[in-house]
Amino acid sequence: MQTLISIEGLTKRYPKSDEFSLKGVSLSIRQGERFGIFGPNGAGKTTLISILCQILTATEGRVRYFIKDREVSFSDIKQHIGFVPQDLALYEGLTAFQNVEYFGALFNLSAKRIRERAAHLFDLLGLSQVANKPVKTFSGGMKRRLNLIVGVMHEPGVLFLDEPTVGVDIQSRTAILDFLNALNREGTSIVYTSHHLDEAERFCDRIAVIDRGQIIALDEIGPLLRQHAAADLTQLLIKLTGKEFRDHV
């Protein structure tokens, strides 16, 4: 399988912080895979994804992007990247369609393409009947589904997802995962993090476990479970990262 993203010695320390959020992270993400990044709160998951999307700048190290085995600059690949953050990236005073219209325009989609794409995605994710209603009236699950639609309006080749199903009901969660699996079958590579480890175990091809800014395990889930004599992903993470609380004030 071809390399999509190569991460080499990635280090991040925020200004005025005495600790590193990432410490020499190196790994490769492959074209077409569903790659999971997991670990406790504060382990560095969101920081890593934010650097991969060029939202944050690394302190040291580099990220290299490839299309068909040819290295490309971020300026060339940014149109191929979609990002769905944990915090909802929506304008609550606008309607669902006005939100996708705005974000579609940021990717230079034509008005005609925005209408076509929005109609298709609203239908797939059950929002057709509320397309012209303000987002502030939506349930949590509806907002999560719209957040996902915004992130894929431009049909990205790689989609980064930070807790895409947090706080949603089982119906929305199922719809989101079905949609992501369909995207992946059509060729979209997915980089994903979640605290729903049962969901992740069914969804991911390979995973990296990160703790205190370092990769402590990297492989397909089956081999990792066997290597560490773990019954499931939850037990694996407890064995690798311990039981202590990771709350931050």
Q: Is residue 249 in some structural domain?
A: no
Q: What's the pTM?
A: 0.91
What distance in Å separates the CA atoms of residue 64 and residue 73, rounded to the nearest whole number?
Answer: 8
Residue 154 backbone phi and psi in degrees, to 5? -90, 15
202-243 pLDDT per residue, tens: 999 999 999 999 999 999 999 999 999 999 999 999 999 987
pLDDT score of 165 more than 50: yes
Q: Is residue 51 in some structural domain?
A: yes
Q: Is residue 38 in some structural domain?
A: yes
Q: How far is CA 73 from CA 48, 66, 236, in A?
A: 18, 9, 36
Q: Is residue 248 in some structural domain?
A: no
Q: Is residue 246 in some structural domain?
A: no
Phi/psi region, residue 21 (left: phi>0; alpha: psi -120 to 50; beta: rest), is alpha
Q: Is residue 179 in some structural domain?
A: yes
Q: How confident is the model at residue 249 (pLDDT cuts 50, 70, 90)?
A: very low
Confidence at residue 68, expressed as pLDDT on a 0 to 100 scale: 82
pLDDT score of 33 more than 90: yes
173-202 pLDDT per residue, tens: 899 999 999 999 999 999 999 888 888 899
Residue numbers of the domain that contains 228: 3-241
What distance in Å separates the CA atoms of residue 243 and residue 196, rounded to the nearest whole number?
Answer: 17
101-152 pLDDT per residue, tens: 999 999 999 999 999 999 999 999 999 999 999 999 999 999 999 999 999 9
pLDDT score of 36 more than 60: yes
Confidence at residue 2, expressed as pLDDT on a 0 to 100 scale: 92
What distance in Å separates the CA atoms of residue 70 and residue 14, rounded to the nearest whole number?
Answer: 32
Q: How confident is the model at residue 166 (pLDDT cuts 50, 70, 90)?
A: confident
Mean pLDDT computed over every residue of the chain: 93
Where residue 180 sits, what CATH number does that domain have? 3.40.50.300
pLDDT score of 248 more than 60: no
Confidence at residue 26, expressed as pLDDT on a 0 to 100 scale: 97
Count of domains in the chain? 1
Q: Is residue 85 in some structural domain?
A: yes
7-17 pLDDT per residue, tens: 999 999 999 88
Q: Is residue 178 in some structural domain?
A: yes
By the 10 Å C-beta count (0-12 exposed, 13-18 middle, 19+ buried), 10 is classed as buried
Residue 37 backbone phi and psi in degrees, to 5? -120, 120
